[in-house]
Chain A
Amino acid sequence: MPLYAIFQIALKSLLRNKTRTFLTMLGIIIGVAAVITMLAIGQGAKTIVDDQINSMGTNVITVMSNMFNRSAVRSESGSSSGLTLEDVENIKDRFNDVLYASVLVSSFGRLKYKSLNWYSPVMGVDTDFQFIRNYEMEEGEFFTDNDVRSGNKVIVIGTTVATNLFPDESPIDKMIRLRNVPVRIVGVYKSKGQSVAGGDQDDMVIAPYSMVLGRLTGRWRPNLNIFVSAVSKEKIPKLQTDIMNYLLETNRAATEEDFVVNSQTDIAETSNRVSNTMTLLLASIASISLLVGGIGIMNIMLVSVTERIKEIGIRMAVGAKKKDVLMQFIIEAVMISLLGGLLGILLGAGLSKTLEHMMKWSISISTWSIVLSVTFSCAIGIFFGWYPAKKAASLNLIDALRYE
């Protein structure tokens, strides 16, 4: 018997019972739509995290002291941590894989312009920092090497700071007070959005580290961190160990626990693991509804076989083989699940788009999740259609014909 004839027969049987066919299909539609939407949400979350990680810069390694927990060692450069300004220079000189390196001194300060006040974190850095973290300028310029050498009182601000202090004028070249020290704004950097941790990366003041160390910290000595950018992603792990070894060799660290040498890829991996786990969890929950839909198909197919015993007998009497009957019922099940799957994809896409609109997320439906859903719904049709079909095909002809 030609395959298209079986398809024709199966299709006719399904159309003869439109309401029931649709209701059975609904289970699959909802299941597939749920899977598609959940995968899309997971994918969307991943894109957001990826963007945030990219906003941290390219191939970034951060070196932080862990010593505030331990006995503080005062070094010559005046840092209470184990890291010094010489370390920055040494790391830059020793390792060819270092593209940029900058110190980071974190502080906090009140900004005052005319009658407006604003509190912001302050980062004291070297000029390399702008390349490590990929700061692009919205207005003005980043400060120069000369500003860093001379400890000039110039700063670069983020857009949040700019809009709060300068609601209707350009902040460039304006003199404002930072911790009561008059400083000049030389630039505003382009928005970087939220950080991985959820903070506003645009609510920030960037200043030459020399000025921060000299003017803003007073008696309190801040923690020094070092930001390094590796020449390529592949070099990151080696550079991480090199830097740790350097710190151990120069006796700055007694054990590896004294310092944290973190890389962007570490963070990316961690957050990817988290978002993958979340996606998997969401998808598994959704798959359960797909499974329930499959059981619905089996249930209806069993009812349908019992209802159509006489029909099966008639078909066999006019020449249908066991395998023809088997195929007919399997194809009926697959048609329900496949069509349900396709409608489910449409519904899922619609839901994802609505969510995207409502949550202002970028939600992406991958071809992968579509292929997965179609394959999965086909498999469900075959799997859950098999038993009822087998039952239909193994009916005894005479008994089936006589069945009332």
Chain B
Amino acid sequence: MPNTLIKIENMSKTYQMGESVVHALRNVDLTINKGEFVAIMGASGSGKTTLMNLIGCLDKPSAGSYILDGIDIHSLNDNELSDIRNEKIGFVFQSFYLLPRTTAFENVELPLLYSTNLNLHQRREKVLQALETVKIAERSHHFPNQLSGGQQQRVAIARAIVNQALIMLADEPTGNLDSRTSVEVLSVFQELHRNGITVILVTHEKEIAMYAKRLIIFKDGRIISDQINNNQRNAAEDLKNLPKEEED
């Protein structure tokens, strides 16, 4: 299966909280192919973030196997996991996680600094290109506190894609944004998706999930539903129909 990007089998994650054990994930099986656009939904506490952290190699599972792009993640040490995060995965979080008092440009540059030897010129090129892709290049010298939420999220997306990530992991990326800005961000994801990036998106909003091609629903640490979305919406189209400058 050359197309398989993520292959998770029987994955569990438990947290020990004093006496009690929290089962955040219970025996999850999940396969995602290259070029998919997946939305994950589910009640609060159902284990969505836990799964994203495991897919993104930010955390290690308690049990189960995980093959990412043909690599058995279980066999990797901390340094190799860092490299995977750096080279294959782009993260976008609900609260952006940009470095404060650091310009948009420098925030986007961050993964490149921890990456293989690129010279100053090559780095600059890549950063500007990423900022261009999310249409925020003109704000490259602004600090996060000088940007709107939507703009900050674009900078975060630029940071996620700057190192040619294979997978974009977005955990409630529109959670802090109004509906129009949310659709804008989704149009960026759809554009990235068209360019070949695999997108996995966690959201609480059904409307947002409808922009994805595949819908997974979580409950109590298990996948209870996994379907193709036959009514996938086009964010760019919707944006045209949404009145501009209107308050939500």
Contact = CB atoms under 8 A, between A and B. Distances in A.
Interface of A: 1-2, 5, 8-9, 12, 16, 310-311, 313-324, 397-398, 401
Interface string B101-123: 11000100011011101000000
Contacts of B114: 1, 5, 315, 318-321, 324
B75 interface: no
Nearest to A404: B95
Nearest to B82: A321
B40 to A, nearest CB: 18
11 contacts: A5-B114, A16-B101, A16-B102, A317-B58, A318-B86, A319-B82, A319-B86, A319-B87, A319-B114, A322-B79, A397-B58
Contacts of A314: 97-99, 110
Contact of B91 (A2, A311, A318, A398): A318
B99 A397 contact: no
Contacts of A398: 53, 58-59
Secondary structure call for the A interface: helix
B248 interface: no
B110 A315 contact: yes
Contacts of A319: 82-83, 85-87, 111, 114-115, 163
A318 B58 contact: no
Nearest to A396: B59
B78 A321 contact: yes
Interface in B40-62: 53, 56, 58-59
Contacts of B86: 318-319
A5 B113 CA distance: 6
For the complex of A and B, 3 pairs with smallest distance between CB atoms: A319-B86, A319-B114, A318-B111
A317 B97 contact: yes
B97 A401 contact: yes
A19 to B, nearest CB: 13
B58 A1 contact: no
A1 B113 CA distance: 7
Contacts of B159: 318
Contacts of A313: 97
Contacts of B113: 1, 5, 8-9
A321 B79 contact: yes
A320 to B, nearest CB: 5
Contacts, number: 63
Nearest to A323: B79
Contacts of A315: 110, 114
Contacts of A16: 101-102
Given A16-B102, A317-B58, A401-B58, 4 more contacts: A1-B113, A311-B99, A311-B100, A315-B114
B197 to A, nearest CB: 16
A320 B85 CA distance: 9
A1 B100 CA distance: 22
Contacts of A310: 97
Nearest to A324: B114
Contacts of B59: 397-398
A88 B113 CA distance: 83
Contacts of A397: 58-59
Nearest to B79: A321
Q: A16, A314, A323 — which one has the most chain B CB atoms within 10 A of its CB?
A: A314
A310 B98 CA distance: 10
A5 B83 CA distance: 16
A12 B106 contact: yes
A102 B43 CA distance: 109
A32 to B, nearest CB: 30
B97 A2 contact: no
Nearest to B163: A319
Interface string B130-174: 000000000000000000000000000001000100000000000
A261 to B, nearest CB: 73
A310 B144 CA distance: 15
Contacts of A323: 79
Contacts of B99: 311, 314
A398 B97 CA distance: 13
A318 B163 CA distance: 10
A314 B58 CA distance: 11
A310 B163 CA distance: 22
Contacts of B117: 2
B170 to A, nearest CB: 13
B82 to A, nearest CB: 4
B139 to A, nearest CB: 19
Contact of A316 (B82, B101, B163): B82
Contacts of B58: 317, 397-398, 401
Contact of A318 (B100, B106, B110): B110
A117 B201 CA distance: 108
A107 to B, nearest CB: 82
A321 B82 CA distance: 6
Interface string B61-100: 0000000000000000011001101110001010001111
Contacts of A322: 78-79
Contacts of A317: 56, 58, 85, 91, 97
A179 B87 CA distance: 101
Task: Kindly name the residue among B79, B97, B102 whose own CB sees the greatest number of chain A CB atoms within 10 A.
Answer: B97
